[in-house]
Chains A and B, each alone.
Chain A
Amino acid sequence: MVALSLPGPVRRYFENWFEVRNPPSGDSILLHNRRLYILPTGFGYLFAIMLLFLFLAAINYQNSMAYMLTFMLVSLVIISLWQTHKNLLGITVKLNIPRPVFRGEMCELEFEVSHPNNSRRFAIGIQYRNQPPVYLKLQALGSTKAKLKLPTGRRGLFKPAGITVFTRYPTGLFHAWGWLRFDLPILVYPRPLQDARLQQSLVEQLDGQTSTSTIEGDDFAGLREHRVGESLRHISWKAYAQGRGLLTKTFQGQARPSLWIDWQSMTQGSAEDRLSDMAAMVLAAENEEQKYGLRLPGTMIEQSYGNAHKHNCLQALAVFRQTDIEQEIPLEGD
């Protein structure tokens, strides 16, 4: 398909047509007739040209068998049009909830492809735009997982779009495909910058902090309610066995220092650089087992720690100043 440059109303008509037929649907898509498209491949056209030559030769030599061969191949084209289409028909593609990644890392999309029919499916590819596809095959009533790895080009929250499930089986003369548009977002955090300067500023901020009870330490200090994200190692299983619920053992020791990761204090570089710095600080703070909070223009996340808190912070950084969820996964070089 070539890029469409159509007059407004026609374009809107097509957009509408596309939306109606390919609504983003939850996390799984059933490829039925209305969702499947099929067009000849370059080889399909080449084959057609060859058939034309064959036909001319048959006429010229008045050779009945050459006619027959030509017609046989024409029929083969028609049958393979149908078979290529059939190879995708009725397949369900489910996208497992993608894990967030940092910008620059490969984003891994795991698809579960299955079909409820008693036929085998071959050479089914899943592809994002012009990226190298992954291929899979399905046994009768089968289900297969396929992982598509995409390089990520920008931070933000994105909806997978432009992903197709396609096939050229059996003859490669046709390319049948369906658009995979899911409601599941892909989260790309800013790329964390590992920087000595950052470490320095962390240390400076932490000077003169008082000690508090923490889960790490030398002397047992008492029990408090368990927080999601805390290691199971620190749960007081004795208390749990006594029916007092999940409690975490705390210890007296070096206090967990706390800090604020603040947009305003980041003065160097562009907005993206600042976000990268902040992401790195989040990771570093979490790594150093500190309490940290995040201040962004219009957003504030209270000081806390733990995995969930880290992801909250990173997500806030990822979607910062992103107005809308984009229907596209930006690639490197975009």
Chain B
Amino acid sequence: MKAIEQNLPIRSISQEISSSSSVFAVCFCFLFSIAPHFPHLPLWVSGIVGFALGWRCLQNLGKLREIPRWLLIPMVIIGGLGVFAEYWTVVGRDAGLALLTVMTALKFLESRRQRDLLILVFLCYFLIATHFLFSQSILTATLMFATLIVTTATLITINQREAQISVADLLRSSSHLVLMSIPLMLILFVLVPRIPGPLWGLTNEQRGGITGLSDSMSPGKISNLIRSNEVAFRVDFDGRIPAQNQLYWRGPVMAHFTGFRWSQVPRKPLGQPTLSVSEPPISYTVTLEPNGERWLLALDVPTRLVAGSVMTADFQLTSKKEVNDLLRYKTESRLAYQFGLDESEDYLKLTRSYPEQYNPKTIALGKSLAAKHGDSMEIVNAALSMFSKEAFFYTLKPPLLGNNVVDDFLFGSRRGFCEHYAGSFALLMRAAGIPARIVTGYQGGEFNSVGNYMIVRQSDAHAWTEVWIEDRGWIRIDPTAAVSPDRIELGLDDALADEISNFRIQTRNPIFGNLLYGWDNLQHSWNNWVLNYDERKQRDFLSKLDMGIDNWSDMVITLVVMLSAITGVFWFIAWYRERPPRPATYELLFRCLLRKLAHRGIEKKASEDTRAFLRRVAADDFPQRDQLEHIIDLYNRIKYGRSGASPLALNQMRSLINSLQP
């Protein structure tokens, strides 16, 4: 009993000095897990990482001395202050990461013992998680999986001690460990009840370099976006997919015009819906890539609210917080609609106003149009026919324009992109006294035939106008369609095939195209099933499984049962493989004999060998001595003899033992 009272030797083991190979391993592991962060980190932080790792490795080789502790403490303080100076905070994603990196790097300089290295490996595990705050794509996940294997291999190296093991063997056992964890991980992932977050306030940090629509529109803004092949969002339609020329994805609505730039006007949420519709709704689910802004894209016009968002009076879906993570929402739209019949006088006045001092020619043209045609609709058509009949060109590379952008465009270059057409058309209408505004968003999209959903890319960005007409409300007018019908009917690539070569052109190739669509489909499923697996999705999924798991406690019970079952199987396999070999029959019979003798009070001493014991027993005045000697003889013959355990001898031994009096 004394023995189990003693403390387990936990402390002494972790205090052991680490081997030099494990120091190298941990250095490599840290470099491996921090490297993808270098683009997000200030240069000096990366510098500290390089310095600390370099020093530690050289120290390990005996080329440098250990940095004295009195020098380390100021370094830690300076590192902390440096991070604070860089971000003006030490919490939050970016500052937190920088601080963690600096401190981990400095920890290397004072790591000598087993314990220090283990802590460093734990920090590497933690670093893996920080990558997911920047990206959760399949590629990141794959890279992190590799990092997990490397980190685990490092952990194994540290616990390996003296035993030399090849890197290949290490990676193999580490992969083994990680791969065996996958089934358990999946069960946990599916069944651990999800808790809606956040638990504490988040500094809603933007991801760097997001491309996407902007909150204002001026010439050149959208055509810049066009060059990006990034996915803006993906759409799964529940039923019918509308025709290409119906796919206007409504984004920010801009009613304020400075003479050069269009921008948004804050509007109240929609009170009473003032929409009259005739057709059945189109139902679909949008998976929006993070855009760092509040707007949610929806087919023109959305008629259903999305959780956590509001619908403004100009039918724009606006999220309550910035979309910094992948967002999936289900909504409905009507393609045939009437809205804004009861638009407020103030807003109509605003949408008729324009700065007088700029673009005098355009204003004059607008006024003359109004004078020539009485009816608003006629004015609109007259302006559109001007775009389509006269020599206007649709191009991604418009020439630079002067101060009066609209005048320069309409009466000068006549070469422009959608924002030029939409902007000048809206100004013309306003000059003619018709309320007009710009709607930006996306137009079109490509159908992924592999996954049956629609991909809308940044290159589908578009701007169009809405004019307000008495008794008809806001009507969508797309002047670009008048100039380049192909843009709307076929999409951008066909309209500008000679100016751009991009993804969609490549997808025309049957093999390559399918590969690309397959890849995109994988990303889409990843988004839907992995990244969006939240509380609601979990509930939906479990109810779809139809196993009666529909509440928190059911989930926990199922979880525990499944985990125990799997672990139980593992333990059984281990036990089965390592089970002690079954003793031979004669040994079992011999044990039976020993038990019988023990019953009489003759016990075999642990120090006594079998033959000596039997000699002792037989020498006593044992009542069935002959029989016993016969048994001993049989036993010895079976065990040591040449013929071994013949069935005959075994039977004889058994019957003799049975006939012994207990």
Q: Is the pair B177, A83 in contact by a Cβ cutoff of 8 Å?
A: yes
Verify if B161 is at the interface (C-beta below 8 Å from A). yes
A228 an interface residue at 8 Å Cβ cutoff? no
- Chain A residues near B325: list those with CB within 8 A: 61-63
Query: Do A54 and B126 touch (CB < 8 A)?
Result: yes
* Closest Cβ–Cβ distance, residue B183 to chain A (whole Å): 8
> Distance in Å from the Cβ of A60 to the closest Cβ of chain B?
5
CB within 8 Å of B: which A36-90 residues: 39, 41-43, 46-47, 50, 53-54, 56-76, 78-80, 82-83, 85-86, 89-90
- For A173-187 the 0/1 string (1 means CB < 8 A from B) is 001010101010000
A40 to B126, CA, bound (A): 20
A135-B162 contact in complex given A75-B185, A83-B177, C-beta closer than 8 Å = yes
- Interface residue count on the B side (C-beta < 8 Å): 79
Partner of A65, one of B13, B144, B534, B570: B144
- Given A33-B575, A75-B188, A179-B4, does the pair A132, B198 have CB atoms closer than 8 Å? no
Question: Across the interface, do B122 and A47 meet the contact criterion of CB distance under 8 Å?
Answer: yes
Residues of chain B within 8 A of A179, CB atoms compared:
3-4
Measured CB to CB, the closest approach of chain A to B262, in angstroms, equals: 35
Q: A324 to chain B: closest CB distance in Å? A: 13
User: Are B532 and A64 in contact (CB-based, < 8 A)?
Assistant: yes
Q: Assess whether B10 is interfacial by the CB under 8 Å rule.
A: yes
Residue of A nearest to B192 (CB): A71
Collect the chain A residues with CB atoms within 8 Å of residue B132's CB: 63, 65-66, 69
Q: In A202-225, which residues have CB < 8 Å from any B CB?
A: none
A80 CA to B132 CA, complexed, in Å: 25
B-binding segment of A18-26, A242-250, A265-273: A18-26
Complex CA–CA separation, A135 to B13 (angstroms): 11
Q: Does A127 sit at the interface, judged by CB under 8 A?
A: yes
Produce 1/0 per residue, A7-39, CB < 8 A to B.
Answer: 000010011001100001110001011000001
A306 at the interface (CB under 8 A from B): no
**Residue ID in chain A nearest B325 by CB atoms:** A62
Indicate if A130 sits at the interface (CB-CB under 8 A): yes
The yes or no answer to A104 lying at the interface (CB within 8 A) is no
A291 to B216, CA, bound (A): 113
- B152 contacts A76, CB within 8 Å? yes
Is A168's CB within 8 Å of the partner chain B? yes
The listed residue (A3, A76, A175, A183) touching B5 by CB distance below 8 A is A3
B9 touches A129 (CB 8 A): yes
A320 within 8 A of B: no
> Given the complex of chains A and B, what is the CA–CA distance between A328 and B188 in angstroms?
46
Given contacts A68-B185, A71-B189, A117-B578, contact A170 B7 (CB under 8 A): no
Q: Give the residues in chain B near A127, CB-CB below 8 Å.
A: 9
A161 at the interface (CB under 8 A from B): yes
Is there an interface contact between A171 and B152, defined as CB atoms closer than 8 Å?
yes
Q: Is the CB of A161 within 8 A of B188?
A: no
B133 touches A61 (CB 8 A): yes
B202 close to A61 (CB less than 8 A): yes
Q: Are A135 and B163 in contact (CB under 8 A)?
A: yes
B197 surroundings in chain A (CB, below 8 A): 59-62
B202/A169 in contact, CB under 8 A: no
Cβ–Cβ contact A1 & B5, under 8 A = yes
Q: Is the CB–CB distance between A175 and B129 below 8 Å?
A: no
Q: Is the beta-carbon distance between A123 and B160 smaller than 8 angstroms?
A: yes
The CA of A58 and the CA of B534, in the complex, are separated in Å by 11
A64–B126 CB distance below 8 A: no
- Does A172 make an interface contact (CB < 8 A)? yes
B403 within 8 A of A: no
In Å, the complex CA distance between A116 and B581 comes to 9
**Chain B nearest Cβ from A14, distance in angstroms:** 7
- Contact check, B155 vs A79: say whether CB atoms are below 8 A apart: no
Query: Is B1 part of the binding interface, using a Cβ–Cβ cutoff of 8 Å?
Result: yes
* A91 to B, closest residue via Cβ: B578
Check if B547 is an interface residue, CB within 8 A of chain A: no
Closest to A61 in B: B133
In whole angstroms, how far apart are the Cα atoms of A61 and B534 in the complex? 12
Cross-interface CB contact of B574 among A64, A85, A135, A162, cutoff 8 Å: A85
Residues of A within 8 A of B (CB-CB), count: 83
CB distance from B308 to the nearest CB of A (A): 12
Residues of A near B577 (CB, < 8 A) are 90, 117, 119
Chain B: minimal CB distance from A85 (Å): 7
Interface assignment of A151: CB less than 8 Å from any CB of chain B: no
A184 smallest CB distance to B (angstroms): 8
* Interfacial chain B residues near A169, Cβ < 8 Å: 156, 159-160
Q: Which residues of A contact B581 (CB under 8 A)?
A: 116
For residue B173, CB closer than 8 A to chain A, the reply is: yes
B177–A76 CB distance below 8 A: yes
Q: What are the residues of chain B within 8 A of A241 when measuring CB–CB?
A: none
B570-586 interface mask toward A, CB cutoff 8 Å, 1 = contact, 0 = none? 11001101111100000
- Tell me, yes or no, whether A237 is within 8 Å of chain B by CB: no
Residues of A within 8 A of B165 (CB): 122
What residue in chain B is nearest A161 (Cβ atoms)?
Answer: B3
Are A18 and B1 in contact (CB-based, < 8 A)? yes
Contacts of A171 in B (CB 8 A): 152, 155-156, 159, 177
* Set of chain A residues within 8 Å of B2, measured between Cβ atoms: 161-162, 327-328
Is A122 a contact of B163 with CB atoms below 8 Å?
Answer: yes
Q: Which residue of B lies closest to A24 (CB)?
A: B606
- Judging by beta carbons under 8 Å apart, are A66 and B129 in contact? yes
Given A78-B184, A79-B177, A181-B3 contact (CB < 8 Å):
yes
- Whether, in the assembled complex, B224 has its beta carbon less than 8 Å from a beta carbon of chain A, the answer is no
In the docked arrangement, what's the CA distance between A69 and B124, Å? 12
A196 at the interface (CB under 8 A from B): no
With an 8 A cutoff between CB atoms, is B511 at the interface?
no
B148 is an interface residue with CB less than 8 A from chain A: yes
Instruction: Give the nearest-CB partner of B567 in chain A.
Output: A78
A50-B182 in contact (CB<8A): no
CA distance A42 to B196 in the complex (A): 32
Flag if A79 contacts B579 (CB, 8 Å). no
A125 CA / B163 CA spacing, docked (Å): 11
* Proximity bits, A133-175, B CB within 8 Å = 1, else 0: 1010100000000000000000000000110100011111001
Nearest A residue to B201 via CB reads A60
Residues of B within 8 Å of A54, CB to CB, are 126, 129
A75 near B184: Cβ-Cβ < 8 Å: yes
Chain B residues closer than 8 Å to A50, beta-carbon distance: 122, 125-126
Task: List A contacts of B10 (CB < 8 A).
Answer: 41-42, 175
CB closest residue in chain A, given B178: A76
Residues of the B chain whose Cβ atoms lie less than 8 Å from the Cβ of A74: 184-185, 188
Contacting residues, chain B, for A67 (C-beta < 8 A): 189, 192, 194, 533
Q: Does B272 contact A (CB under 8 A)?
A: no
Beta-carbon contacts under 8 Å, B577-601 to A: 577-581
Which residues of the partner chain B approach A47 to less than 8 Å between Cβ atoms?
Answer: 122
A4 near B129: Cβ-Cβ < 8 Å: no
Q: How far is the CB of B535 from chain A (nearest CB, A)?
A: 9
> Would A15 and B9 count as touching, CB distance under 8 A?
no
Are the C-beta atoms of A63 and B133 separated by less than 8 Å? yes
**Would you give the shortest CB distance from A247 to chain B, in whole angstroms?**
30
Q: Does B307 contact A (CB under 8 A)?
A: no
- Contact (A170, B574) CB under 8 Å given A60-B200, A75-B182, A78-B567: no
Interchain Cβ contacts under 8 Å between A and B, 22 examples: A26-B606, A32-B580, A43-B14, A43-B122, A50-B125, A54-B129, A62-B198, A64-B530, A66-B132, A68-B185, A69-B129, A71-B188, A75-B183, A78-B184, A79-B177, A80-B177, A133-B9, A135-B161, A137-B163, A172-B118, A172-B155, A183-B607
Q: CB within 8 Å of A: which residues of B?
A: 1-14, 115, 118-119, 122, 125-126, 128-129, 132-133, 136, 140-141, 144, 148, 152, 155-156, 158-163, 165, 173-174, 177-178, 180-185, 188-189, 192, 194-200, 202, 325, 530-534, 563, 567, 570-571, 574-575, 577-581, 606-607
Given A54-B126, A61-B197, A170-B177, 20 additional A-B pairs, CB 8 A: A1-B7, A26-B607, A41-B13, A43-B14, A43-B122, A50-B126, A59-B199, A63-B133, A64-B136, A64-B530, A66-B133, A67-B192, A74-B188, A79-B570, A123-B163, A130-B12, A133-B13, A135-B162, A169-B160, A172-B118
The 4 closest A-B pairs by CB, nearest first: A90-B578, A75-B184, A75-B181, A71-B188
